[in-house]
Amino acid sequence: MKAILSGLTLIFATVLISACSAVGSTEGGAGETEIRAGKIEQITLTQMQTNHDSGVGAVLGGLGGLGIGSLIGRGTGRDVAMVAGALAGAVGGNYAEKKQYDQPKEAQQIIVRVKSGVLVSITQPINPSLGKGMNVYIEGSGNDARVVPQGS
C-alpha cells in the first residue's frame, strides 16, 4: 500500500511541477505584441500539423496501467506488474492522444512584403478574408505570428 501511495504521490508531484513551468515566455512585457504592416504578395494552400502534446493521455494511461498492474500478483511480482502496467499505459495513452488530436489541418502560407521591403512567410489556419495585394498587419512573431487585414 505504501508503494502505491508513494508512486501516486510522485506522479502527482511531477504533473504539478510541470504544470507550473513557463510556457512561451517572450522578451516583451505582459500582453505586449509586435505588429508589422505590409502587403500580401502570395497565398498558397498547405497543411499544418497541430501540436496537442499535452501529456494528458500519457498520464491517464499510466495511472490506468498502474491500477490494473496493482491487481496482479503479490509482493515483488505485484510491484513489477505495477511498473510494467504504468509504462505500458503511458505509452498507449500517449499514442491514443496523438492519433486522436494530432491530425494535419488545412492552412495557408502567406508571403507578406513589409514596409522595409523584407518578405515574411507565415503559415496559419485559413482566413478567407485575406487576398493577394491586400494591406495587412502581422501580429506577433515566431510560431505565434498571424496575418490580419488592416482595418479589422
Distances, alpha carbon 57 to alpha carbons 60, 66, 72, 149, in Å: 5, 14, 23, 38
**Which pLDDT score, from 0 to 100, does residue 25 have?**
47
| Blockwise average pLDDT, block size 10, the chain, 152 residues | 69 63 52 78 84 76 86 85 89 82 81 90 89 90 85 68
33-49+106-152 has CATH 2.60.40 classification: no
User: Which value, in Å, is the radius of gyration of the alpha carbons in the chain?
Assistant: 23
In the chain, where the domains are located: 1-25+53-103, 33-49+106-152
Report the half-sphere exposure of 3 (CA within 13 A, side-chain side): 14
**Which pLDDT score, from 0 to 100, does residue 39 have?**
93
